[in-house]
Amino acid sequence: MTPLVVAVVGPTATGKSDLALALAEHLGGEVVNADALQLYRGMDVGTAKLTLAERRGIPHHLLDVLDPHEEASVAEYQAQARAALTDIADLGHRAVAVGGSGLYVRALLDHLEFPGTDATVRAELEARVEAEGARALHAELERLDPTAAANIGPRNARRTVRALEVIRLTGRPYSASLPQHVYEVPAIQLGLDCDRAVLDARIESRVARMWDRGLVEEVRTLLDAGLGRTASRAVGYAEVVAMLRGELDEAGARAAIAAGTRRLARKQMGWFGRDPRVHWLDAQDPDLVERALALVAAADSGTLGTATDDPAPRRSLGS
């Protein structure tokens, strides 16, 4: 029987990569990346990507598979990442997925459909946004799919257009294609939580470390090669781009990166905190690896209770 995939999830800067690496070492595993930005070649310092030396010989999959000018596709990621899971299982190894990109984790593990697109329909809806305003289309979405509308802000024109496009193309509610908390790939999810003040301090240290390791030089090189929309808007990269354009000074760029990373961490905690299947662990626990391994062993033996049976996690970042 194929062993459960172990997924290490949670906010940025909580130590997910280190825990995943330790688990892979103990379990005879290989790591599968579930961080959207670590898919990109050359985006190393700003994404805190482990170096080859730091990976300690553990195979890593879905790192450095896109050029920075390309746009990441969740559907393509799902296909490639699940193929990697098959390859790992065929070798008799354990897959350890790690990342803070919630949609990518869900695409890897859960039933998640990707309805097609239609350039003509999309253009028509975007033209209506310009003519009628985003709120008018959101009101239409409320009539057609109240569940989707409740989860999409009335000013979010891009997501509103996508929802209406899917409804037009499939004849079904957009919400029907959204991810549900239902595993398609059997797994155990381990979430790392961290006291808010401690995490904020970790984020400040991470920004300083990235600066020392050459973040500015990395961004300058990427700009020369060409940055796509996704890469250029990423936290850490967008702020350095602004600095290089003279829109921010160094102190302002560093402060903006730290603030953006804190916002990202809150958003990630909100996403993963809503998943009742995540078993939460304290990122500062000196016995973190042992506790994580015990949860994996219990899941493997079928004796692990539901995540809601765990002692109440702090979930200190809120949502």
Distance CA 190, CA 193 (A): 10
Tokens at 90, concatenated: 């065929």
| Average confidence (pLDDT) over 195-200 | 96
Distance CA 135, CA 116 (A): 24
Distance CA 218, CA 216 (A): 5
Distance CA 317, CA 198 (A): 11
User: Residue 178 above 70 pLDDT?
Assistant: yes
User: Residue 318 above 50 pLDDT?
Assistant: no
Is 17 known as a binding-site position? yes
User: Residue 121 above 70 pLDDT?
Assistant: yes
The pLDDT assigned to 151 comes to 87
Is 14 known as a binding-site position? yes
pLDDT digits (tens, 9 = 90+) for 10-41: 999 999 999 999 999 999 999 999 999 999 99
Please report which confidence band the pLDDT of residue 319 belongs to, taking 50, 70 and 90 as the band edges.
very low
pLDDT digits (tens, 9 = 90+) for 296-311: 999 999 999 877 677 6
Instruction: Output 116 or 128, whichever has higher pLDDT.
Output: 128
Q: What is the DSSP string of 7-76?
A: EEE-STTS-HHHHHHHHHHHHTEEEEE--GGGGBTT--TTTTPPPTTTTTT--EESSS-B-TTSPP-HHH
Domains and CATH numbers, the chain: 5-111+181-309 (3.40.50.300), 119-177 (1.10.20.140)
Is 231 known as a binding-site position? no
The pLDDT assigned to 307 comes to 75
- Coil, strand or helix at 227: coil
List of residues 6+ apart from 265 with CB closer than 8 A: 11, 12, 13, 199, 203, 317
How far, rounded to the nearest angstrom, does the alpha carbon of residue 57 sit from its chain's CA centroid? 24
Is 11 known as a binding-site position? yes
Is 299 known as a binding-site position? no
Nearest to 226 by CA among 41, 50, 2: 41
Mean pLDDT of the chain: 93
User: Residue 75 above 80 pLDDT?
Assistant: yes
User: Residue 164 above 50 pLDDT?
Assistant: yes
Neighbours of 153 (CB within 10 A): 12
Is 16 known as a binding-site position? yes
